[in-house]
Structure 1
């Protein structure tokens, strides 16, 4: 009898502890946040600023939000949904960086090795320092070699200056390294023949460094880049809907692309232009853009990162490698950072922006210190928030890139920004 009494007491205590644990464990995405996100995304569609949108959020290994609004194909009245395939553009970059870092883990290179050690195409680089009085290029030897770290953080000086009106810009355009008919090796040869836009490590300038990463993967592994990333990243993560070339059987799921025209009117990008890269195989398999994916596929990639390299039985990277990639690699001496400051209080790691400080104003993008993220030209976005064990993916297909859309989505997820001391 006494024994039964004590067992009942023990059981009651355990139940009380469990009940306490359940009620004290807070969730960022609660009913209020869900309603806020729904309202925000629906309002964007209703206002005509986007044709369609989907968003997926996991928190502490649980799906805590999914919804879709509007159309993947507005003209055909085809709703945006979970199976919609979109162009992820620069959200290809973190996948490429992951592929590269699998070779780093094998000891194939060190980050501060010179690029030329593996790719002689980039030996003895010259730097464009400006035009002379006749408009000719003034060149000088690079102060140091381009390193692999440089091509992972956009400090290489390798650029595609398509809008530069100098002789240098004209030379870059004529050389045309990123032509789709070039193989990655031909692309590298052409970039190697061009002067750098600045001395390695002096500036942060977004550009084709990640395409050079894809070439480096191919050069070091001896495997075509598309095959390598498929075998080492996409297949192990079961990202079965992620491709450079959308299979014919899946093209009915491919979203249309839209752009904001004059008068703030959303118009369809002609399919011939929007689909030209992804409906046929080209010689170029770029590391910086080109993949298409579904929201669930890309979430599998994001969840691998929040799990520090392992997900659903597949280990892609070691925890210390993911931590390295998510650590700011930009020193304070790199003051010229193109448009990177528009992303908020961030630095840059290995193919991710990395949040280093809380928002300094309510106008900035919301996010947690330690978060790492990137986005794509058609306004797609993802981030990994290790503090809340949260991963978020936002899919739209809108040009030009809409940073204001990201600000609204982030504020919907986290709530209004509260500045320190207020």
Structure 2
């Protein structure tokens, strides 16, 4: 358990493809996901399995409200000879974050808070935060008061200043605080997290971390309901996401995928179940907002379809269109230049719990997609995106560590959109 939790914290930290621009099809009646594109996706996914890059893959794409692609390759559990299929349940890790963000924004719509409110107004644990300045000649940590309070906007865009593991002195404090021990409640998690100095002043940098777990705590504080109960009642049940849980039910365990680790030499090995599955097979006290949910392709597609439909799925409305638009708008000012590894995602900013594509790729080496899309991924190399330009949602599932070292996401996007070509790109 310690190994998988540590891994989570660290992480919280095609041949034959012709150039395509990622713009809508030439005619309104023409489908974007054409027969040629489907064949490309099939070839790409099957090649990844044949080459031993991962054990199992599945993908589901909707266009204009209709399913236009599904296929699955390889194994959900190779040792048990269980094929990857539509009912496979996977750990979505950080793809939990957008669910948490939607939950928080349902309270925003009710006027429960403003984005620029101080976090401490609702969570006093985060009052009077101190910021790391370095260590003195004796190795003692030096601190200074934060120049301004952490705001709710900060925790939705990862600019709060919560420390990572790259500064040894702070990493030791993070480890000793043990905020993400699964026996902690969200209240205990928040208190322990608030006891650790910030790595930088709020708003000064982008640094991926536990901000979304603090969002879950905020949802709990404001709503007066346990976080998992709130998302069940407000998101999962209304959308019919009946296979999305923190704890996999006994009846569904046979569909629960194994996790595989790929070595530097390319060998796949199964992560022991006692490490890979412990969190999701026991009802731990901690229900994190940043990770922890399990889901199926169809369930998560319902969530993505709600977003591409501007907050509604059929007759069910979760958010207002203007709220979804706000979430899908880059919240990072141009003056914020320290962005950790976010530039590695391509030409993106960050909205409210999503990366937001702000322009076409600068080169064919970058991940392709349509300007205006928003998306996120998970530690076990899962991925989803919402493309409002083409009215597309895509969900890609696998269970592979380390996170996407085989360039699965880029290759899948190239199969969908084509290899980016600046000469033909007309992204909107």
Scaled by the length of structure 1, what TM-score is found?
Answer: 0.93
What is the CA distance between 1:23 and its match in structure 2? Answer: 7.3
**Pairing 1:11-160 to 2, within 5 Å after superposition:** 25-159=29-163
What is the CA distance between 1:312 and its match in structure 2? Answer: 2.2
Contact (CA 8 Å) 1:237, 1:312: kept in 2 or not? Answer: no
Per-residue CA distance 1:155-206 (angstroms, 9 max, x = gap): 00113x345322x221221111111111000111111111111100000000
What is the CA distance between 1:321 and its match in structure 2? Answer: 0.2
Aligned to 1:331: 333
Separation in structure 1 between the aligned mates of residue 165 and residue 337 of structure 2, nearest angstrom: 23
Separation in structure 1 between the aligned mates of residue 352 and residue 423 of structure 2, nearest angstrom: 29
Name the larger-Rg structure: 1
Aligned to 1:198: 200
Aligned to 1:390: 392
Aligned to 2:421: 418
Of the two structures, which has the highest relative contact order with CA contacts closer than 8 Å and spacing of 6 or more? Answer: 2
Separation in structure 2 between the aligned mates of residue 250 and residue 415 of structure 1, nearest angstrom: 37
Separation in structure 1 between the aligned mates of residue 152 and residue 328 of structure 2, nearest angstrom: 16
**Pairing 1:281-296 to 2, within 5 Å after superposition:** 281-296=283-298
What is the CA distance between 1:113 and its match in structure 2? Answer: 0.1
Separation in structure 2 between the aligned mates of residue 421 and residue 354 of structure 1, nearest angstrom: 22
1:144 aligned counterpart, secondary structure: coil
Aligned to 2:312: 310
Aligned to 2:241: 239
Aligned to 2:168: 165
Contact (CA 8 Å) 1:243, 1:292: kept in 2 or not? Answer: yes
Separation in structure 2 between the aligned mates of residue 251 and residue 78 of structure 1, nearest angstrom: 12
Contact (CA 8 Å) 1:73, 1:256: kept in 2 or not? Answer: yes
Separation in structure 1 between the aligned mates of residue 40 and residue 173 of structure 2, nearest angstrom: 50
Q: 1:394 to 1:143 in 2, by over 3 A?
A: same
Q: Does 1:345 align with 2:344?
A: no
Per-residue CA distance 1:233-259 (angstroms, 9 max, x = gap): 100000000000000110000001001
The runs of at least 4 consecutive aligned structure 1 residues that moved more than 6 Å come to: none
Q: 1:235 to 1:421 in 2, by over 3 A?
A: closer
Separation in structure 2 between the aligned mates of residue 411 and residue 203 of structure 1, nearest angstrom: 31
Contact (CA 8 Å) 1:114, 1:147: kept in 2 or not? Answer: yes
2:280 aligned counterpart, secondary structure: coil
What is the CA distance between 1:421 and its match in structure 2? Answer: 7.1
2:239 aligned counterpart, secondary structure: coil
Separation in structure 2 between the aligned mates of residue 211 and residue 361 of structure 1, nearest angstrom: 35
Scaled by the length of structure 2, what TM-score is found?
Answer: 0.92
Aligned to 1:407: 410
Alpha carbon RMSD of aligned pairs, Å?
A: 1.3
What is the CA distance between 1:309 and its match in structure 2? Answer: 0.3
Question: How many residues are treated as equivalent by the alignment?
Answer: 399
1:235 aligned counterpart, secondary structure: helix
Contact (CA 8 Å) 1:114, 1:146: kept in 2 or not? Answer: yes
Separation in structure 1 between the aligned mates of residue 199 and residue 167 of structure 2, nearest angstrom: 11
1:278 aligned counterpart, secondary structure: helix
Q: 1:162 to 1:416 in 2, by over 3 A?
A: closer
Q: Does 1:222 align with 2:186?
A: no
2:300 aligned counterpart, secondary structure: helix
Separation in structure 2 between the aligned mates of residue 421 and residue 38 of structure 1, nearest angstrom: 24
Contact (CA 8 Å) 1:162, 1:173: kept in 2 or not? Answer: no
Aligned to 2:371: 369
Runs of 5+ unmatched residues, structure 1: 1-21
What is the CA distance between 1:262 and its match in structure 2? Answer: 4.2
